[in-house]
Structure 1
Amino acid sequence: MITKFWLPVKKLEDAAAKVDEVILAADPDREGEAIAWHVEHILKNSRKLAKKEKLVFKRIAFHSITKEAIMEALEHPRAIDINLVDAQQARRFLDRLVGYKLSPILWKKVRRGLSAGRVQSVAVRLIVEKEREIEKFKPEEYWQIKVEVETKKGEKFEVELARIKGKVADIHEGEKAKVVLAELESAEYLVDSVKKSERRTAPHSPFKTSTLQQAAANVLGWSAKKTMNVAQKLYEQGDITYHRTDSFNLVPTVIEEIRKFIGEKYGAEFLPGTPRVYKTAGKVVAQEAHEAVRPTHIEISPDKFTGQEMAHDQEKLYSLIWRRTVGCQMSDAIFDDTKVIVRAGENELTATGAVIKFAGWKKLFLKDKDKDEEQILPMLEVNEKLKKNKVVGEQKFTQPPARFNDASLIKELEKRGIGRPSTYAAIISTIIDRRYVEQRERKFFPTSIGVAVVDFLVTNFPKEMDYEFTAKMESELDDIAEGKLKWKKMLSNFWGLFRDNILRVDKDSARVGVPTVGTGKKCPLCHEGEVVVRDGKFGKFLSCSRYPECKYTAPFIEYVPGVKCEKCGKRVVLKKTRTGRDFYGCEDYPNCTWASWHKPGAKKEEQEQEQEKPSD
């Protein structure tokens, strides 16, 4: 037995020696089932317990740490589900086969100290391919033209050019824009049509793990790892149900509790006629037995907590979960939409407006910026004349695809069937820790090491790096969990081809280098090579292009162009905490201790995501 596990096992043996029944209450998922099996296996084969005549093992599973849930579980014990254990064992062996066999190949062919993961490497591939899309992107010029108009009553609103001579306004050159702007300056403006309609929006489903991580990233600016750590605390305190789940399911008794709470708190008009039932799309897996992530006691609203009762981060995440859970059973939000078409000669301009007629579920979210709310338009009549106040033409350029952040990467992994709710946070943390990607202002950028590793693996292990193949492996793990596939057969099928490929690549493939970035400066040590930026185990550093012949190295300082320290006015540098997170600091540290998570001058709403000063 591994030394560090000896003491916990001894404690289990000592406790089991005093009882006739052992209750196995590990987490209600595959990992928990495997832990329960291992505990039972160790105790059954313990020499210390060999003389004990009878020792009964019972497995219980509950999805919230509350008295009611635990008592219910104790009344319905069961045997360990060996299919779930096998699925977890298969995942563990599969990941080790890939990691243990691929990593030495990377040491030999790319750089020592590198490692590969079955799912992590595929996630890095997504980020690398996104970066190449961005690099290939060619921005195209276009013009947006808006006009501020005014009614006789002095009510002002804005219209945007939509059509020219009956065709969609598609202006890509400044000269054409000048012609249209001149026409609009001299034109008479008449209201051509006013169309009003009612629009309803249904609430979102309750959270499952992936959507909770996405919402926390978008609303709170959190990483998936932080979200899961805070959720773990809430679960352990009995505040929420188990937070690793693929399911949107809410049990009928809980739905009734939520509906009763809504009626009493907000009124009958906020209740739809029938309960809302949310079904999980896609393949139903073993974790489908779980509930959605929800508060254990819906009557405990976020405003009932004080800073002493719940840590600040826990309060923020609880509020997010509580609002989503209550909101999912509320009435639709109703909007009054208005679309106005204004004619100016042969040009057609439009304006849209939307106001909330009935808040419905959005009552819980009115503090958040509501994208459904648009400008409020005045009452207008067809053929009404409007006064032109100003015409504005703005040159714009199409934008490249957005880089992945925590939320969009998790969404993409889930869409492709790669990974499971319990693995997303670990996937992202691992690829950052291994320096395959770095995160700047919450966006993922591949490092030169990440690019080199992905290119090598895609070239030499195309099957293992294929998105569909990785998803197929996840599906087969689900089949094992459901008893449809034997885990040893699954591993055997994978290992045969993978082993042959490992041997071939080890023998035949060429070594690849990690790309560097030149600085244009001569090496101060050898005066022959160029100083280049390299990616190392602990971040970027400067070295000579003639390495290993020349051993010159120096720290890499990344200055932020056009930005001055808010405290002393000196240059700002981009730094990293001990945990690898980017922050901004003054070049004159420690004389100047100014630091910020956000780039000076960033938008206020971005800075409000996280106020605390970097401390690690």
Structure 2
Amino acid sequence: MVIVESPAKAKTIGRFLGNGYTVRASIGHVRDLLRSSLSVDVEHDFAPKYRVPNEKRQIVKELKSLAKNAEAIYLATDPDREGEAIAWHLLESAEMQPEISHRVVFHEITEPAIAEAFAHPRSIDTSLVDAQQARRILDRLVGYSLTPLLWEKVRGRLSAGRVQSVALRLIVEREREIEAFKPDEYWTIGAEFTPEGMRTKYLSRFYRLDDEEPVLPKEETVNGLIHDMEKADYSISKIKKSERRRKPAPPFTTSTLQQEASRKLGFTARRTMAVAQQLYEGVAIDGAGTIGLITYMRTDSTNVSELAQNEVRKFISSQYGADFLPETAPQYKTRSIGAQEAHEAVRPTSVLRRPDDVKDQLTPEQFKLYQLVWLRFVASQMEEAVYDTVTVDITGKTPSHEYTFRTSGQTVKFPGFLVVYEESRNEDRERDEDENQKVPAGLEEGQKQHLNRLIPEQHFTQPPPRYTEASLVAALEENGIGRPSTYAPTISTIQQRGYVVRENKRLFPTDTGILVTDLLVEHFPDVVDVQFTASMESDLDKIASHDMNWVDVVRQFYGGFEEEVERARKEMPEVKTEPEKIDRPCPVCGNDLVIRWGRYGKFISCSTYPTCKHTEPFLEKIGVTCPEDGGDLVERKSRKGRFFYGCANYPKCQFVSWKKPVPQPCPNCGGLLVVANKREFQCLTCNETFLQETVTEGKSD
């Protein structure tokens, strides 16, 4: 008997193993702490009290029955701590015989990988189980202590968690940085030159004032310099030509996959992991049956197996030529704190399954993510890109000063990995406006340059950007908070709780999120401290590597935490939040209607609820009127969690759009515009498309 976690994986593995094997799915965990109580005996070494939930009893009963007649049992759950713990819970809850029970681990669901795993079974790694159990107990101690406190002191339906509260704190503190930010004015000066004997014009940037970097804080300073600059005669003082090499990005880890899928595909972290799970567990491919297309997607390692590297190197050589193949296979150093190097990076299980070859068998989402993984992996194993760079300094002198302008440019000498894939730019990283200017050919040192015009520009320093899901994942990883399996659920939780809202990809803390963070920082500074949380993750890693005892780790944390809880219960004043009123009476009793938070987010109810039981869904207006009846367009969510836009007068008005409408009218016909993609609007009336910036400026393209 073989036990895996999901039916899809069971189907795929069952086909590989063939007759003689019974493959069953546990459908995740089969045993957990009781939901109705703490379920941790703090007086007796934090012993957990596990039970099989009602919805899993039939599964456990069936597994127990099958186990009695099995010659051998293989626990083939996921290759991480969570999977190890599930295997242990299966062994315990289904009363399997340890002497015939084996643990098998694989990082891809392909026939060779399955054969290799079953040829080398092992016993359950109790240290990995202890590490997961310690995490579960720590999270339960924090959650079951702080959540009731928030319900009592603030309002119901709130929650606090060991990792989620730190993530929320990062967002709140970033918002406060933005609010406290005071912009500083600064100026830059550009210049347009024409080389002597040529007609070409090119731009340059003021780079040096005498021998120092220029400081231009005010317009008066700039005006004085410009007046003097115009008197100078300019010539090229230096030309520097060199070669720059650029390495490809490493293959994906969980964190980088979520970040890149957010930037390139617009996927949330949760959506990325759901689609990646499907690709990992198996997809029906013509001529190959059901097969896993990518390796395990919860990983912080950039390692690649020798087998996979050999395959991709042959592919690169045959498809792109020997020039694109590095002499030795690239090796990448994992940047994640506490990375599990035994794991592999996220990669295609076979590079020979090209995205276009399997496109017809995949959903659009599956194809987009598989293509992203495939391209990134192939590029990561290719030769570096090579650029020819040139830097030109143009200097002019007056009796007062020496002015140097600089122009820098580069051209691709050899594209290398760029023929396949280029990593997206971090949206929060400032773009260097001078990184690739056009430099005329034929320039020589000493050549005179005619100054056509000077271009002064005013700027203001910008506050730090609000987090996106992508940049928050990067921050969590950089600070060692959580692990690959926790990023997506953490970000989803703080949004579901109403602590954070996502607008135009940016994460904004709500008043409730700010209030909860302030209370936790004041009364539980360690729990929401970034360094403390990272240190706790390090201790969990040490448990997994046999270097620490899980009970000692939990005891060390709980001693101080228990005291903080008791002190907070006495000292934390009530800050009950009143429901927000809306300007409309209850249609049943006439009292005010208010916005409340429930299990599924915001809803509207009577202020006297539950005396008056009137409720209605909360509709988020987007500031656009319905093209059919003039009502307000509102944001709604489908049963599958996808956002769409419809009229507030539904069901009387049936207007709906999956694309977000915008307030600007169509410049062609005055109809309703929707966001077609990152750069374009589309009119629903005349079907014309327009560049967004031209519509914003009031011009059509």
Please give the secondary structure, in 2, of the residue aligned with 1:326. helix
Distance 1:12 1:305, change over 3 A: same
Does 1:313 find its partner at 2:365?
yes
**Aligned equivalent of 1:277:** 331
Distance 1:282 1:584, change over 3 A: closer
- 1:462 CA displacement: 0.8
Match of 2:413 among 344, 357, 371: 357
Equivalent position amino acid for 1:292 in 2? A
- 1:381 CA displacement: 1.5
CA contact (8 A) 1:533 1:540 kept: no
Distance 1:255 1:524, change over 3 A: closer
Give, in whole Å, the separation in 2 of the partners of 1:249 and 1:607.
37
Match of 2:154 among 107, 110, 119: 110
Does 1:224 find its partner at 2:269?
yes
Distance 1:266 1:511, change over 3 A: same
- 1:270 CA displacement: 1.0
Distance 1:368 1:60, change over 3 A: closer
Please give the secondary structure, in 2, of the residue aligned with 1:97. helix
Does 1:577 find its partner at 2:637?
yes
Distance 1:452 1:573, change over 3 A: farther
**Aligned equivalent of 1:330:** 382
**Aligned equivalent of 2:556:** 493
Match of 2:505 among 437, 442, 445: 442
Which moved further from structure 2: 449-458 or 16-25?
Answer: 16-25
Please give the secondary structure, in 1, of the residue aligned with 2:508. strand
- 1:79 CA displacement: 0.8
Structure with the greater relative contact order (CA < 8 A, sep ≥ 6): 1 or 2? 1
Give, in whole Å, the separation in 1 of the partners of 2:325 and 2:605.
66
- 1:11 CA displacement: 2.1
Aligned pairs for 1:190-269 within 5 A:
190-237=235-282, 238-269=292-323
Give, in whole Å, the separation in 2 of the partners of 1:140 and 1:532.
45
CA contact (8 A) 1:568 1:592 kept: yes
Distance 1:513 1:6, change over 3 A: closer
Give, in whole Å, the separation in 2 of the partners of 1:565 and 1:392.
43
Give, in whole Å, the separation in 2 of the partners of 1:77 and 1:414.
32
Equivalent position amino acid for 1:88 in 2? Q
Give, in whole Å, the separation in 1 of the partners of 2:425 and 2:148.
50
Distance 1:367 1:71, change over 3 A: closer
Distance 1:587 1:547, change over 3 A: closer
Contiguous gaps of at least 5 residues in structure 2? 1-51, 283-291, 587-591, 665-673, 685-701
Which moved further from structure 2: 150-159 or 241-250?
Answer: 150-159
Give, in whole Å, the separation in 2 of the partners of 1:547 and 1:389.
73
- 1:4 CA displacement: 1.2
CA contact (8 A) 1:452 1:513 kept: no
**Aligned equivalent of 1:94:** 138
Does 1:62 find its partner at 2:126?
no
Distance 1:407 1:32, change over 3 A: same
**Aligned equivalent of 1:377:** 439
**Aligned equivalent of 1:528:** none
Please give the secondary structure, in 2, of the residue aligned with 1:484. coil
Match of 2:163 among 106, 119, 124: 119
Give, in whole Å, the separation in 2 of the partners of 1:611 and 1:20.
65
Aligned pairs for 1:27-42 within 5 A:
27-42=78-93
Match of 1:606 among 670, 673, 678: 678
- 1:75 CA displacement: 0.6
- 1:175 CA displacement: 2.7
Match of 1:19 among 65, 70, 73: 70
Deviations 1:47-73 (A, max 9, x none): xx9xxxx97211111111111110111
CA contact (8 A) 2:313 2:381 kept: yes
CA contact (8 A) 2:355 2:371 kept: yes
Give, in whole Å, the separation in 2 of the partners of 1:571 and 1:367.
43
Does 1:161 find its partner at 2:201?
no
Please give the secondary structure, in 2, of the residue aligned with 1:167. coil
Deviations 1:267-291 (A, max 9, x none): 1111222221223246655x32111
Give, in whole Å, the separation in 2 of the partners of 1:69 and 1:421.
22
**Aligned equivalent of 2:690:** none
- 1:315 CA displacement: 1.4
Equivalent position amino acid for 1:289 in 2? A
Does 1:454 find its partner at 2:517?
yes
Distance 1:555 1:186, change over 3 A: farther
- 1:93 CA displacement: 1.2
Count of residues in Structure 1 that have an aligned counterpart in Structure 2: 594
Does 1:141 find its partner at 2:185?
yes
Give, in whole Å, the separation in 1 of the partners of 2:83 and 2:202.
59
Give, in whole Å, the separation in 2 of the partners of 1:55 and 1:42.
16
Give, in whole Å, the separation in 2 of the partners of 1:608 and 1:88.
47
Match of 2:346 among 293, 300, 320: 293
Give, in whole Å, the separation in 1 of the partners of 2:634 and 2:219.
38
Please give the secondary structure, in 2, of the residue aligned with 1:413. helix
Please give the secondary structure, in 2, of the residue aligned with 1:305. helix
- 1:586 CA displacement: 6.6
- 1:486 CA displacement: 1.8
- 1:556 CA displacement: 8.0
CA contact (8 A) 1:121 1:454 kept: yes
Please give the secondary structure, in 1, of the residue aligned with 2:527. coil
CA contact (8 A) 1:269 1:331 kept: yes
Does 1:347 find its partner at 2:403?
yes
CA contact (8 A) 2:662 2:675 kept: no
CA contact (8 A) 1:149 1:390 kept: yes
Deviations 1:148-167 (A, max 9, x none): 33344322221122233443
Aligned pairs for 1:505-584 within 5 A:
505-514=568-577, 536-537=597-598, 575-577=635-637
- 1:399 CA displacement: 0.9
Deviations 1:485-541 (A, max 9, x none): 22222222222222222122112221225499999x9x999xxxxx99977446678
Distance 1:554 1:224, change over 3 A: closer
Equivalent position amino acid for 1:327 in 2? A
Distance 1:40 1:94, change over 3 A: same
CA contact (8 A) 2:157 2:497 kept: no
CA contact (8 A) 2:660 2:675 kept: no
Deviations 1:397-445 (A, max 9, x none): 1111011111111111111111000110010011111111111111111
Give, in whole Å, the separation in 1 of the partners of 2:628 and 2:226.
46
Distance 1:276 1:595, change over 3 A: closer
- 1:118 CA displacement: 0.9
CA contact (8 A) 1:221 1:610 kept: no
- 1:467 CA displacement: 1.1
Please give the secondary structure, in 2, of the residue aligned with 1:19. coil
Give, in whole Å, the separation in 2 of the partners of 1:506 and 1:127.
26
Distance 1:542 1:347, change over 3 A: farther
Give, in whole Å, the separation in 2 of the partners of 1:466 and 1:10.
44
Distance 1:357 1:75, change over 3 A: same
**Aligned equivalent of 2:355:** 302
- 1:365 CA displacement: 2.2
Please give the secondary structure, in 2, of the residue aligned with 1:351. strand
RMSD: 3.8
Distance 1:608 1:327, change over 3 A: farther
Give, in whole Å, the separation in 2 of the partners of 1:175 and 1:566.
50
Give, in whole Å, the separation in 1 of the partners of 2:683 and 2:93.
48
Equivalent position amino acid for 1:257 in 2? E
- 1:190 CA displacement: 2.7
- 1:464 CA displacement: 1.3
Give, in whole Å, the separation in 1 of the partners of 2:418 and 2:146.
50
Distance 1:186 1:343, change over 3 A: same
Equivalent position amino acid for 1:265 in 2? Q
Distance 1:187 1:586, change over 3 A: farther
CA contact (8 A) 1:140 1:398 kept: yes
Q: Percent identity?
A: 44
